[in-house]
Structures are given as C-alpha cells and as structure tokens.
Amino acid sequence: MAGLNKVSVDDINVKGKHVLVRCDFNVPLKDGVITNDNRIQAALPTIKKLIADGGKVVLCSHLGKPKNGPEDKFSLAPVAKRLAELVDTKVIFAKDDNVVGENAKKAVAEMKDGEIVLLENTRFRSAEETKNGEAFSKELADLVNDEVFVMDAFGSAHRAHASTAGVTKFVKETAVGYLMQKEIQYLGNAVEVPVRPFVAILGGAKVADKLNVISNLIEKCDTLIIGGGMAYTFLKAKGYEVGTSLVDDEKVSYCKDMMDKAAAAGKQLLLPIDTTIAKSFPDPIDAEIEVAVVDADKIPADQMGLDIGTKTQQLFADAVKSAKTVVWNGPMGVFENPTLAKGTIAVAKALAETDATTIIGGGDSAAAVMQLGFADKMSHISTGGGASLEYLEGKVLPGVAAIADK
C-alpha cells in the first residue's frame, strides 16, 4: 500500500472526452435545504480541472440511504442547484429514477466540452449496492461512451459498489481525483511510511469497532494512545474497577493481548491515568452535568467514566509534542456535551500546536475538530469515516484498488 501510486487527473487528457466522476455529495439536508456544503466544496478542484481541460463531465453520487427505490427526499436536485452556484459552467440535472434514463442519455448526448451533467442518486437503483450490479456498472460506462472514469469519493471507497468500483471494468481510462489523491497520500503514507516518531490516538465508544485498527497500529506506530469509551475495557483488563462505564466484556482478554503485544514490540501504549466521572450518561446529550475527576483505578462502583481527566490530558498532550506524524481517530469523551468535551479539546489543541503532520481520520474526530475550530491547524482531515478506519486497519479499499496504477 506504500505511497499508493495511482493515475491521477493530472496524468490524463480529457479534452473532448466524456468523464464519469464519482463524487461524495452525501450532504446533510433539512427540509430539502443543504445545511453543510463541505462535501460539494471538496469536490470542486477535481471538477474544475476536468472542465478547464475540456472534458464533458458527468457526475454521480449517492445521498442517504433510500430503502425502497427512489424517494424525493434523497434526490440530488439540491446538490445540482448548489453546484451551479459554485462553478462557471452549465450544470444539467438529469432527473431519472433509474439514474441512467432518457433524461441522462439526452443530456449527455447534447453536452459540449466543459459542461456538467449530474445524475440522480445512484442508490435509487438497488443494483448499486448488490453483487449483481454489473448491468448498472455497464450502463454508467456506456453513458460516457466507455471513455474515462474518475474516482473522487473517498468516503465510499471502502464499498465495492457499481459506481465506485464496478464501472472501472468497462471504461478505457481510470484515475483518482484530487480529493482521493490527498487521502491516499496522507493516510496511506502515514501508516506505511511515517516520519517517526509516529503517534496514533484512538478514541470513540467501542473496542469492537477498532479491533483490527488497534492491532495494525501497534505494529506501525511508536506510541498508541487509547481514550474515549473504549479505554474502560482496557482499564478493566488491567484489573481496575470501572463502575458503570461502557465496557465490552467480550473484549477484555483481547485488550490484555494488545497490551502484551505492545510491550513485546517495545511500543508505548498509553491509557488514561485519571477520568471524568458522573452518576449517569447526560440526557439529553448536551444537558448540564455534575462531574468529578478521579484516578483511573479509583472509579466508584456506581459512577461512569465519560471523558479523560486533567492529568491524562497533559499526558496525551506531552506524547504528541515530540511526534513527527500523528493520526487521530475517535473523540476522548462525550464531546457533544460542553462539560465532557475537555479531553477532546485538549487533544485537538495539542495537535494544533505541534509541527508534526497531523491526520484526522474522519467520523466523529473530524466533526469534533471542525466544531471546536481547529480544522485549519490540521495537515489533513479525512472525508471518510468508515473508509479511513479500514485504511488504518491496513485493508485494501475496493474503490482505490480498482483505479489504474501509474
């Protein structure tokens, strides 16, 4: 996987050719209005490059999880409208319930160089997500005369769908867009050829979600920091009382094995040394809550750990100071609550102040860094939660593997 060298949009000539681009336009909508257009903005460099080079650009994406075929609330119509405001060219929305229908075929047939057609939500076709998506893959390729496919949706790269991987079998040329290129460069290189010392920080609720990530990162990094809800299973594995904290009892022995693995490999595995506790989980999640901070081995039996404590904040921040590469995936506590966000803020601040290459692995950590105002201080914030996790596990992502190597 090291420094994955894929053909990029800079390596191909698209003048006069039809180019199908898989974007990630899975934007949040409220009453048909886009509440955050980050994902559309992120796709612009690739789209603008292909337009400037004289390509006939056909965009496709999924949005949400339509269950029973086409649903108006999952239409990409609002995306087409927003996109038209952001680019200096004609954007035609091909509204076909079967994605590649009469509207799409007509719009593409009438395209001029440097114009854009946006197809309807690829998940309106059940074949998008199924093993027998070959016919749909072929329809997508046929629409662009089997000419060029550009993959720029890292958030969907871990899915072997018709529009992410299947279509590559039927087109003459494939490439990654700028967004994909950046993800591969940062995440791929961080894990495979990191500048050392390499510190990985894992948080979030469940150990089960990150089993392979923990194991893979112990092999790759110099220091592994564990916070968030998953830390309590590790503390229980050390024989500590963890009260009513979130614990995955089936994974206690796994956590013991991982601590042994780290010790045998001469790697540092840091766990919380103190923890912020409360009587129960906040309800609603942002409600005011009374908390106390106790040492990690002194959690009362009727209390629940909900964030790392002040000494742990310092310990984790110190570990980051000397790092040259830091990857962070998962918050340190219930960051949606102002009282329980202190650990996550402390880690974000430590990353913001370091000179290291800092990579935020999508999902909740990306949301936290953006909400807390530290986004511009990070080297790279991944656009894919599930995809970045699978990358950190060392898995091959179908949407990356399907693209031609240089």
Pairwise CA distance, residues 383 & 297, whole Å: 37
Q: What are phi and psi of 182, to 5 degrees?
A: -65, -40
Of the residues 17, 39, 56, 251, which is catalytic?
A: 39
Q: Is 196 a catalytic residue?
A: no
Task: Provide the 10 A C-beta neighbour count for residue 88.
Answer: 9
Contact call for residues 176 and 22 (beta carbons, < 8 A): no
Does the annotation place 311 within a ligand binding site?
Answer: no
Token reading at 134? 């070959």
Look up 82 and say whether it is catalytic: no
The phi, psi pair for 270, rounded to 5°, reads: -100, 130
- 305 marked as part of a ligand binding site: yes
The answer to whether residue 67 is catalytic is no
| Contact present, 42 and 383 (Cβ < 8 Å) | yes
- In whole angstroms, give the CA distance from residue 78 to residue 68: 21
Give the integer Cα–Cα distance in Å for 200 and 142: 44
Degrees, nearest 5: CA angle 105-107-109: 65
405 is in an annotated binding site: no
State yes or no: 210 annotated in a binding site.
yes
- Single out the catalytic residue among 105, 182, 206, 349: 206
Burial class (CB in 10 A: 0-12, 13-18, 19+), 348: buried
User: Of residues 228, 330, 363, 399, which has the active-site annotation?
Assistant: 363
Between β-strands 91-94 and 56-60, what pairing exists: parallel, antiparallel or unpaired? unpaired
Query: Is 64 flagged in the annotation as binding?
Result: yes
Amino acid letter, residue 10? D
- Do residues 6 and 150 make contact, with C-beta atoms less than 8 angstroms apart? no
Question: Is 114 part of any known ligand binding site?
Answer: no
Q: Is 362 annotated as a binding residue?
A: yes
Is 123 annotated to bind a ligand? Reply is yes
Check the annotation: does 159 bind a ligand. Answer: yes
* Catalytic residue flag (residue 39): yes
Cis preceding-peptide flag for 272 (omega within 30 of 0): no
Catalytic residue selected from 54, 182, 261, 386: 386
364 annotated to a ligand binding site: yes
Residue 260 is assigned to a ligand binding site = no
Q: Is 155 annotated as a binding residue?
A: no
Phi, psi of 380, deg, nearest 5: -155, 130
DSSP string, 350-405: HHHH--SEEEE-SHHHHHHHHHTT-GGGSSEE-S-HHHHHHHHTTPPPHHHHTSPB
Per DSSP, helices labelled H in 166-230 are 178-183, 189-192, 211-220
336 is in an annotated binding site: yes
Residues marked active site are found at 39, 206, 363, 386
Annotated binding site for ATP: 210, 305, 336, 362-365
Annotated binding site for substrate: 24-26, 39, 62-65, 123, 159
Annotated binding site for (2R)-3-phosphoglycerate: 39, 123, 159
Annotated binding site: 24-26, 39, 62-65, 123, 159, 210, 305, 336, 362-365
